[in-house]
Chains A and B, each alone.
Chain A
Amino acid sequence: MAEPVLEVEGLVKHYPLTRGVLFRRQIGSVKAVDGVDFTLGRGETLGIVGESGCGKSTVAKLLCHLERPTAGAIRYRGEDITKLSGKALKAVRRNIQMVFQDPYTSLNPRMTVGDIVGEPYEIHPEAAPKGDRRRRVQELLDVVGLDPEYVNRYPHQFSGGQRQRIGIARGLALHPEIIVADEPVSALDVSVQAQVINLMDRLQAEFELSYVFIAHDLSIVRHISDRVAVMYLGRIVETGTDTEIYDHPTHPYTQALLSAVPVPDPDARDRRERIILSGDVPSPADIPSGCRFRTRCFKARERCALEVPALAVPAEFRYATGPAVHDSACHFAEELRVVPAEEHGNGPG
């Protein structure tokens, strides 16, 4: 792997649940993120997938230091940013920027596009001298495919896709190394999603960016990611390269997730077998003992309630080689192909 720019170790974020107004006491905690480890290489894209409530957005907030973790470390170039404050923190933050999901609420409606994209320079004046800022902002708009003449317009004058470009331009203003994108295209129409994904791909090559790309749409994550981490109830349950995860999943949750994704090919209807999970995701305030997926798992046995499976290459695969050998937090991991092999060539295009 490329030289790591971000190393996350044992990341935990618990939100306290309290009762009482005058005498507040803690009655439990919501374990939004409950022990997450990963490494992000330079110029690499790590995709994080999972269903709502799995903690993926909380991870994004922790990475950008919008929330302080309960425990764990986030090392940027070897330095733990969770311990930083003041000037040192400000300096690090320049290099880790965020692109938000909702291009409607993440742009201030009373600011012009020029002010929005140029605002990072107010906070980090050393990044661009005052007289030069307008030109820089116009350059940024050009880079993301917007007309530089738009600097004086307001967000409501733009479509969703254009607004997301504005959000990306703001994220790029300080020449960060890492961009954390939390569901950057899920609010957009299908025909516009492709435009924004292509833009992000192009910018990554141009500026050597590393992406943490968070989404629930598995096909988009596969398209853009080098490596993928699958989250469930605050933990990563399986991680590997895109081929390892999508074509050779060994964790039952990943298998169920992949099998549930509707494939845009009516001929696949009869060829594939769906794993339909029973029930709903348990509350993150009341996480099952042992393996947290066991209450919905089609493979669960006694051992799963007693022992927490570690995220590592499963024992069964210790002497094996090939793409099925990757980290998977399951006691009974085994390979199962769930996305049917395609005979291509008859598709459109």
Chain B
Amino acid sequence: MLLEVRDLRVEFRARDGVAHAVNGVTCQVDAGETLAVLGESGSGKSVTAQTVMGILDTPPGRITGGEILFRGQDLLKLKEDERRRIRGAEMAMIFQDALSALNPVLTVGDQLGEMFVVHLGTSRKDARARAVELMDRVRIPAAAQRVRDYPHQFSGGMRQRIMIAMALALEPALVIADEPTTALDVTVQAQVMDLLAELQREYRMGLVLITHDLGVVADVADRIAVMYAGRIVESAPVHDLYKAPAHPYTRGLLDSIPRLDLKGRELYAIKGLPPSLTRIPPGCAFHPRCPMARDVCRTDPPPLYEVDEQRGSACHFWRECLDG
């Protein structure tokens, strides 16, 4: 197994108490596999990603438990300089907002080349040549000229390609992409997702795709982990989950999408709002919004029940949910 996260817990000190951002996340990704982590804002999906990458700000964040096994080695036990060697070379991250993730005062060529200079000790001149190669790779037209341009001189789609090039520069085994296409228009989004999928196949990378878009997930994921209030509430192979969700939150999300191919009546809406992370409801965190909630849901937090070998659901009544 390439990456295995076990019972990860992260909290933040906030003005009105402690925010429990990640509350026991367990998941795994294999080489060549795409795991989609699906969740709304505040579900803990980005904090999980940052913790795995080792770029979480501590303080205010605090890792209070769990293990992150990368090729069997617990990253949380490593020293910072050991982690830095892994980061970028063996695991890399693609951010949502390329404009703020790239350095505005360095040319893209310098930023791409830096990967080779820092990690491999390549000379500046060779690094420049590698940068051009990479830009060709992600199909940026006229790469040899544009290597001297600054990030603001590129369009949003092109900047995202540069981010991808930078993440893939050292052919990492694992890439975490945090909402890589959310800021892009649909026609450009399709171009970028296509490119990402193609490069993933080529390098047999493990890809963790963090998103809130159920359409993107259906398009590219092999497996899905649905997050709610800092926990994974359902994990399943993509076809199984869309066919028959085993958690009422997943079901609610799927039902609430207006479908292009199904002009709807009134949309199904999950009632209420996601909870504040400083005041997560007791028992099952989803119970105040759940149409299936019963007494036990208010008191007993559900474990991740095994639905079958490949599926898990954190709902006491997953059988009922599965049957519709």
Partner among A201, A265, A342, A346 whose Cβ is within 8 Å of the Cβ of B266: A201
**Interface residues on chain B, size class:** 35 or more
A216 with B186: in contact, given A197-B267, A242-B263 (CB under 8 Å)?
yes
A268 touching B186 by the CB < 8 A rule? Answer: no
Report if A266 contacts B (CB, 8 A): yes
Evaluate contact between A260 and B257: CB separation under 8 angstroms.
Answer: no
Contact partners of B6 in chain A: CB under 8 A: none
In the complex, the answer to whether B273 meets A342 with C-beta atoms within 8 Å is: no
Residues of B within 8 A of A341 (CB): 261
A255-303 contacts to B, CB under 8 A, are: 256-269, 274, 276-277, 280-281
Q: Which residue from A340, A342, A344, A348 sits with its C-beta under 8 Å from B251?
A: A348
Scan residues 9-59 of chain A and give those whose CB is less than 8 A from a CB of chain B. 51-52
Interface check A193, CB cutoff 8 A: yes
- Do residues B261 and A280 form an inter-chain contact, with CB atoms below 8 A? no
- Looking at A73-81, A104-112, A128-136, A219-227, the stretch in contact with chain B turns out to be A219-227
Residues of A contacting B215 in the complex (Cβ-Cβ under 8 angstroms): 261-264
A123 within 8 Å of B (CB atoms): no
CB-contact partner of A222 in B155, B191, B243, B258, under 8 A: B258
In the complex, are the beta carbons of A190 and B256 less than 8 A apart? yes
A198 within 8 A of partner (CB): yes
Q: B216 in the interface, Cβ–Cβ < 8 Å?
A: yes
Please measure, in the bound complex, the distance between the C-alpha atom of A348 and the C-alpha atom of B251, giving whole angstroms. 7
Q: Which residues of B contact A213 (CB under 8 A)?
A: none
Q: Evaluate contact between A51 and B187: CB separation under 8 angstroms.
A: yes
B258 engages A223 (CB within 8 Å): yes
Q: Does B50 count as interface, using CB distance less than 8 angstroms?
A: no
- State whether A262 touches B40 (Cβ < 8 A): no
Q: Is the CB of B256 within 8 A of A264?
A: no
Pairwise interchain contact B260-A260, C-beta atoms closer than 8 A: no
CB pair B243 A277 closer than 8 Å: no
Cβ–Cβ < 8 Å partners of A246 in chain B: 260
A266-B242 in contact (CB<8A) = yes
| Interface hits, A127-168 → B, CB 8 Å | 159, 161-162
Q: Give chain A residues whose Cβ lies under 8 Å from the Cβ of B158.
A: 280
* Residues from chain A with Cβ under 8 Å of B253 in the complex: 190-191
Q: Is B90 an interface residue (CB 8 A)?
A: no
Annotate A77-120 by CB proximity to B: 1 below 8 A, 0 otherwise.
Answer: 00000000000000000000000000000000000000000000
- Measured CB to CB, the closest approach of chain A to B209, in angstroms, equals 12
Closest 7 CB pairs of A and B: A262-B215, A223-B258, A51-B185, A194-B269, A260-B190, A194-B256, A189-B40
**Is residue B244 contacting chain A, with contact meaning CB distance below 8 A?**
yes
Interface residues of B (CB under 8 A from A): 40-41, 155, 157-158, 185-191, 193-194, 212-219, 221, 238-239, 242-245, 251-264, 266-271, 273-274, 324
Count class of interface residues, chain A: 35 or more
Contact A194 B270 (CB under 8 A): yes
Supply 8 further A-B pairs (C-beta < 8 A) apart from A190-B256, A261-B186, A262-B189.
A162-B273, A194-B267, A220-B258, A223-B267, A261-B260, A266-B219, A280-B157, A349-B251
A264 near B242 (CB under 8 angstroms)?
yes
Q: How far is the CB of A272 from chain B (nearest CB, A)?
A: 10
Contact A219 B260 (CB under 8 A): yes
With contacts A189-B274, A191-B252 taken as known, whether A263 is within 8 angstroms of B238 at the C-beta atoms is no
Verify if A8 is at the interface (C-beta below 8 Å from B).
no
Q: Smallest distance from the beta carbon of A333 to chain B beta carbons, Å?
A: 19
Residue of B nearest to A197 (CB): B267
* Known A216-B186, A222-B258, A344-B262: A266·B239 in contact at CB below 8 Å: yes
Q: How far is the CB of A280 from chain B (nearest CB, A)?
A: 5
Say yes or no: B256 contacts A348, CB within 8 Å. Answer: no
Q: Does A311 contact B (CB under 8 A)?
A: no
Contact between B274 and A191, CB atoms less than 8 A apart:
yes
A346–B185 Cα distance when bound, in Å, is 30
Are A219 and B258 neighbours in the complex by a CB distance under 8 Å? Answer: yes
Q: Which residue of B is nearest A243, CB measured?
A: B263
The answer to whether B239 and A349 have CB atoms under 8 Å apart is no
A305 within 8 A of B: no
Decide: A257 and B218 in contact? CB cutoff 8 A: no
Closest to B43 in A: A189
- Once bound together, how far apart are the Cα atoms of A269 and B245, in whole Å? 19
Q: Which residues of the partner chain B approach A198 to less than 8 Å between Cβ atoms?
A: 266-267, 269
- Shortest A343–chain B CB gap in Å is 10
Are the CB atoms of B268 and A349 closer together than 8 Å? yes
- Give A292-349 interface residues, CB cut-off 8 Å to B: 339-342, 344, 346-349
